[in-house]
Structure 1
Amino acid sequence: MRKFIAAVGIILSVVLWAQPGFSQGAPSGEAARKAELAAAWQAAGNAGTAGPADVPLIDEATLKLPTGDFFVPKAEGARVMRALGNTVHDTNFVGLILGTRQNDRWLVVINYIKEGYIKDDAAKDWNADDLLKNLKEGVDESNKDRAARGFPEMEVIGWIEPPNYDATAHRLVWSILGKDKGAPDDARKDVNYNTYALGREGYFSLNLLSDSARIATDKSAAHELLANLSYQSGKRYEDFSASTDRIAEYGLLALVGGVAAKKLGLLALALAFVLKFAKAIFIGAAVFGTGIVKFFRRKPRDDSTGGAA
């Protein structure tokens, strides 16, 4: 691991200083930002866990981290997110996972939302076409706020994967393709691939960040992580007690882009979704564009121990 950390620091310095505009003559604010990003990634490498490993997720669950994946805990992960310009909800944020295999370019953001038991009975009646229509309408409405704040307007193109709920495992997966208005349809686009694991007191969100050219391959990593997450006894969805436990104010539909419109308000939910999507685009540009994820591929591997260092 010491060799890995040293490699992270060296490569990070080389990549950052080699970027256009980042030199001794660069603005001090930009230099400070990139220095913080470098320090944040190095701290992440120092504090993280390489798979295979069993990673505890707060006091709710355990994640079996596969070989080739790297988990960054809450404090260091939040520092990375903030260094990339993202707001982090400290109450919900759990950590980050990066793929370290040769062709990996993805990042997973883990959150736990403890808002009560999510009723899933609506899943049997939902219609993917209706959900997509609601998403498009919500994004169109929220564009008024984006334009007023100087952000580019966005539009929903269609499903990458329509909502799929496994009522036995209590797992939800969905993803849409979106773009800035006016952008070419065939341009590469950043993608949020959303997966959820429901529990007794709330749910885990594992949001994989990738792009439209790679998502067909990268989504297998999200499915593997989702399947490898196990709630502790007493915290499982089936452990719910109607007589004692709190039920969330919204149901499963609210997790599909915030389209449980009438109960919580269409505009508020749609806006929350669009802002989340915009953050993913920024992360994609910052992380995948600069090649920082490559730092986590430089960890020395020992085949006799399944890749651990």
Structure 2
Amino acid sequence: MWKAFAYFLFTCLAVVSRAFAGVGEDSLNRYDMLDPEDKLCASFIYQQGTVVLNNGVVLSVPEGYRFLDAVQGRTLVERLWGNPQNPGFLGLLLPQPGSRPDSILFGIEISMDETGYLSQQEALQLNYTALMQKMQQHLQQENNWRNKKGLSTVTDMYWALPPAYHETDNTQHLVRILQLGKNVSFLNYEMRILTRTGALSLTAVANTSQLNTLQTLMPAMVGNIHMPVGQRYLDFNPHTDQIAAWTERVLRMGELLDARHFFEWLLNTWLFVAVCLVMVLFIYLMQYFHRRRELPKQFFHVDERLN
């Protein structure tokens, strides 16, 4: 997957730079000589400055980058790079040609994940080991799809850094290493900005050597995102809005049979108090019915000598 990602991106950047280079050359003839995929890349129209995404979020394109909207971005990511469809795809940030010669950052995909509201308490208590297991299961399904398409597959995925949640800006940082074969690996840095209905996801794909760069770049990207009123994290309405279904309660369902996980979950929730109250009520009811079943006392004495 990421080999194709890198190959087509560098092809696009090279084509765009060549298409406008060279004074006095016949640009139309040069365009006609391109392959169909290169022609498609050369036809893309990039944006800079302030961009309004399809869901109303305002993006300030960082210096040294350019933005490809949802329609063109889907063509690049799905048709040329061979990725599966992402229903929440909103656009793609790509480095300007020649602006970062020493950096190997392929791009930052922007998408909306409408999975429901995730509270701060649940975000802080998420079991990221279980989350990675879920991701690996999904990866196996995606690899099956890639095999049918004749595309390269990801052989392994694991955390590059411990996942973190930042309470100050309500962001989750999920940094993964994706392994292709034995010698090729890529960095997948996903920053999820929590919203009223889910999360705005910014996923950067880069060489593993760019980990330190992304640790600085991605948190700073929060300042380039302007969430409209009504979609912000603080706009959540518990009476009308949907709660996220992929929370710790869901992720731990398969672990409840394990005694250690069960008691950790029990002691950290209100269920512990409820269980205690039920036990007290049960004991009281048992004693009550036991007293009701006792034989009544005799109110007169029968003298057996009279018989």
TM-score normalised according to structure 2 size = 0.61
From 234, 241, 244, give the equivalent of 1:245: 241
SS of 2:177's equivalent in the other structure is: strand
Q: Does 1:223 align with 2:219?
A: yes
Aligned equivalents of 1:118 and 1:203: distance in 2?
Answer: 9
Identity %: 20
Alpha-carbon contact 2:94-2:108 (below 8 Å) kept: yes
Residue 43 of structure 1 corresponds to 43
Aligned residues: CA RMSD:
3.6
Task: Establish whether residue 203 from structure 1 lines up as the match of residue 203 from structure 2.
Answer: no
C-alpha distance in 1, partners of 2:243/2:160?
A: 30
Q: Determine whether 1:65 maps to 2:61.
A: yes
The verdict on how the C-alpha distance between 1:6 and 1:114 changes in structure 2, with shifts beyond 3 A counting, is closer
CA contact (8 A) 1:115 1:201 kept: yes
Q: Structure 1 residues 9, 217: closer, same or farther in 2, change over 3 A?
A: closer
Q: How many residues align?
A: 222
1:165 and 1:172 in contact (8 A); partners too? yes
Match of 1:260 in 2: 251
CA radius of gyration, larger in: 2
Aligned twin of 1:170: 170
Q: CA deviation at 1:126?
A: 4.2
Give the whole-Å Cα distance in 2 for the aligned partners of 1:212 and 1:236: 32
**Residue type at the aligned position of 1:139:** Q
**What is the aligned partner in structure 1 of residue 275 from structure 2?**
none
**1:135 corresponding residue in structure 2:** 132
Report the CA distance shift for 1:133/1:92 in structure 2 as closer, same or farther (over 3 A): closer
Distance in 2 of aligned mates of 1:8 and 1:191 = 25
Alpha-carbon spacing, 1:163–1:43, altered in 2? closer, same or farther (3 Å): same
Q: Structure 1 segments of 4 or more deviating over 4 A?
A: 5-10, 140-153
Q: Which residue of 1 aligns with 2:85?
A: 88
Q: Distance in 1 between matches of 2:246 and 2:133?
A: 20
Distance change (3 Å), C-alpha of 1:152 and 1:109 = closer
Does residue 154 (structure 1) correspond to residue 151 (structure 2)? The answer is no
Specify whether residues 12 and 190 from structure 1 end up closer, same or farther in structure 2 by C-alpha distance, changes over 3 A only.
farther
- Secondary structure of 1:222's aligned partner: helix
Gaps of at least 5 residues in structure 1 are 15-33, 264-309
Q: Distance in 2 between matches of 1:153 and 1:68?
A: 30
- In 2, the alpha carbon distance for the partners of 1:137 and 1:59 equals 28
The answer on whether the counterparts of 1:196 and 1:204 sit within 8 Å (CA) in structure 2 is yes
Question: How far did residue 13 of structure 1 move?
Answer: 11
Contact 2:111 2:200 in 1 (8 A): yes
For residue 162 of structure 1, give the secondary structure of its aligned residue in structure 2: coil
- Give the Cα separation in 2 of the matches to 1:8 and 1:108: 20
CA positional deviation for 1:140: 7.6
Whole-Å Cα distance in 1 between the matches of residues 89 and 36 of structure 2?
Answer: 20
- Maintained 8 Å contact 2:130/2:251: no
Tell whether the 8 Å contact from 1:160 to 1:175 is kept in structure 2 after alignment.
Answer: yes
Q: Which runs of 5+ in 2 are unaligned?
A: 1-11, 22-33, 255-307
Q: CA deviation at 1:170?
A: 1.1
Q: What is the match of residue 105 of structure 1?
A: 104
Residues 113 and 202 in structure 1, CA contact (< 8 A), matched pair in contact too: yes
Return 189-198 or 58-67, whichever deviates more: 58-67
Aligned residue for 2:289? none
Could you say what secondary structure the match of 1:75 adopts?
helix
- TM-score, length-scaled by structure 1: 0.60
